[in-house]
Structure 1
């Protein structure tokens, strides 16, 4: 048993050396999680090939009822794709997938650029700012809230609840956030139902009917709204800040990108591999006994797949600790793999592309103005709450 909590704050700030130690010992380990989940035990998959196979293995179920354990929202939010297996997962994904096609996402580019320009217009005259607060957070938050139809006055409160859900400061505050978020989403959906069609995605989901007459139930609507709103911006915040953090920490790579902006897509993919926004996939449960990397997993046991560790496996990526924007990073697991591959990946990539190009072009002398701080607690998200920069 490896107690990850014993590594203390250094594990939260930089878990990669610990994951490298674990990979050297084997691809799968029994671990005890750090705060705020201290004491919780699970299997942790850290090898690339083993993680990729596990992400697509139907014997590893996402529905918590499979193993008889209670998911952390205690049923408050409702049913969504991250907690579903086929055929329910197939059905839920089919009802929403059409809204995230490449064509639909590409149509959002002008509005994403407009929001980006507005944020930079307000930020740049100051000469310095917290990049998270002034830019990286409001951009994807505004995009997803507009897409789903969250009223502007509600967005600040929603942000606080969302952050507490994905990076809880304590079990009590996490539970409180789930209660308040569930109540808010229920009210929002009911408002959409009563208001009639308004053109936003959530209003459309309330009225979505598949060819066979299938519709989302009230619980499924709440769960879908939760998943889209939270996953639709928290990951992108950390992708934007993570890319800037990596570039400023590697001046030669930043110079190369400034000299050739065609390297931008490769830069984003390398950031996703090198220090992606999702550190670990959400829990899976063994529906039956299975073997992962030579380790026997009993039926009913939980499995956590470490995307960050897998993407720095030197068996897949030579010199994985080096940030190299010319690397062939395709095949990384930052957005998952298999049927649960992130539906919002095209939107996240587009937002990051627009944000980073605009930021670097308008801030040619961008630099850190102090160390990034406030590393997100827990093992789900990878990022910081504050990142002071100047120009």
Structure 2
């Protein structure tokens, strides 16, 4: 199967066909190299927790799909690690995403969301991806990492290039990664001499500890990973959630009637239109059977989160958005030891972003005058919108006002 066609233009239809006819299927990756794609919920969930499926590229056979390639200084990250290194580093960075720290971030996130919506004001129309869904998470990541205010504009620009690469300018992504790497080297040196209460200062302290818990490359890679994973996934989750509700006005109406459903609506949006079509590529450390197919050691395995979340054997009527659905067990943010580290923060940001948006604009709809108001990006890796053009009218709201309780 050619991934550039069916799995990009109509992923859920293609996944449904594969799930029925060949749940573990041989395909070509985006670089033309072979891989196995797994589409049934039970197989995907089991694969996510199977220690025989390694993330370490040293276990990969040559000539198979390997996924994203980064400069060596950025490659020593959690996306390429197995235990015990994965366990050691995840324990260090996990301190940034504790429930208490995420709770303390809720008020600043709401203030950031309100500030962005202030700029939209009475315009009446906007691209919510560019004006809201993208700027909010990058502002939160800057706050988390301790990026100085006068450098956040550069930071947002580099992140945007990585989020929406221009196929006509492939060098732009490499330049953005290079600029960001140089920036992190500079920022780390600055925080060594002037530490603050932020994630990067904490990681530097771990790096500089006598027991050497973190190498220099691991430190750089972690800073980069927090940006890319924390930014991109949350941008897509916010955009996909808003887009799905606007395409299903009866669900939006139910949410407006009962705003206590917002956390459940975020979970359903994650199941229905999750930000990641596929989990990280994995490489079996031994020959193993997945489904009813023998996969050889070192071949590439792609576990389809989106296919699993639309599996009718796990979620009845899976192609229907239902904010009242029991979404327990959805795999949008992973499962097992590689479960998304920033999931609590991504959930909180999306809940707050959705609540603030509906609070400010009780009349919100897709822009009917735009030929394609919500086109999907052509990507195998991420499920997200290129833009989300809406019309809105400000007015009184049944929801909380800024400055009140924002626990959601």
TM-score range, shorter-chain basis?
A: over 0.9
Q: Which residue of 2 aligns with 1:384?
A: 385
Q: Which residue of 2 aligns with 1:3?
A: 2
Please state whether the residue corresponding to 1:327 is helix, strand or coil: coil
Instruction: Measure how far apart 1:98 and its partner are.
Output: 1.8
Which stretch has the larger CA shift, 68-77 or 96-105?
68-77
Q: Which residue of 2 aligns with 1:368?
A: 366
Q: Which residue of 1 aligns with 2:24?
A: 28
Task: Spell out the pairing of 1:86-235 with structure 2 (5 A cutoff).
Answer: 86-165=83-162, 168-170=165-167, 172-193=171-192, 195-208=193-206, 213-235=211-233
CA spacing shift, 1:24–1:173, aligned 2, 3 Å? farther
Instruction: Measure how far apart 1:175 and its partner are.
Output: 4.0
Deviations 1:52-94 (A, max 9, x none): 0011111110011122556611424141111110000010011
* Aligned match for 2:8, one of 12, 17, 25: 12
Instruction: Measure how far apart 1:168 and its partner are.
Output: 4.3
Q: Using the alignment, how far apart are the partners of 1:68 and 1:175 within structure 2?
A: 26
Which stretch has the larger CA shift, 291-300 or 74-83?
74-83
Q: Using the alignment, how far apart are the partners of 2:332 and 2:232 within structure 1?
A: 14
Q: Using the alignment, how far apart are the partners of 2:154 and 2:101 within structure 1?
A: 28
Instruction: Measure how far apart 1:120 and its partner are.
Output: 1.1
Aligned length: 383
Q: Is the 8 A contact 2:237 2:270 kept in 1?
A: yes
Instruction: Measure how far apart 1:182 and its partner are.
Output: 2.5
Instruction: Measure how far apart 1:156 and its partner are.
Output: 3.8
CA spacing shift, 1:209–1:169, aligned 2, 3 Å? closer
Structure 1 unmatched ranges of 5 or more = none
Task: Spell out the pairing of 1:251-290 with structure 2 (5 A cutoff).
Answer: 251-290=249-288
Q: Is the 8 A contact 1:167 1:381 kept in 2?
A: no
1:236 aligns with 2:234: yes
Structure 2 unmatched ranges of 5 or more = 393-408
Q: Using the alignment, how far apart are the partners of 2:284 and 2:225 within structure 1?
A: 23
CA spacing shift, 1:308–1:82, aligned 2, 3 Å? same
Q: Is the 8 A contact 2:35 2:299 kept in 1?
A: yes
Q: Using the alignment, how far apart are the partners of 2:336 and 2:208 within structure 1?
A: 23
Give the root-mean-square deviation of aligned CA atoms: 2.1
Instruction: Measure how far apart 1:287 and its partner are.
Output: 1.2
Q: Is the 8 A contact 1:12 1:375 kept in 2?
A: no
Q: Which residue of 2 aligns with 1:331?
A: 329
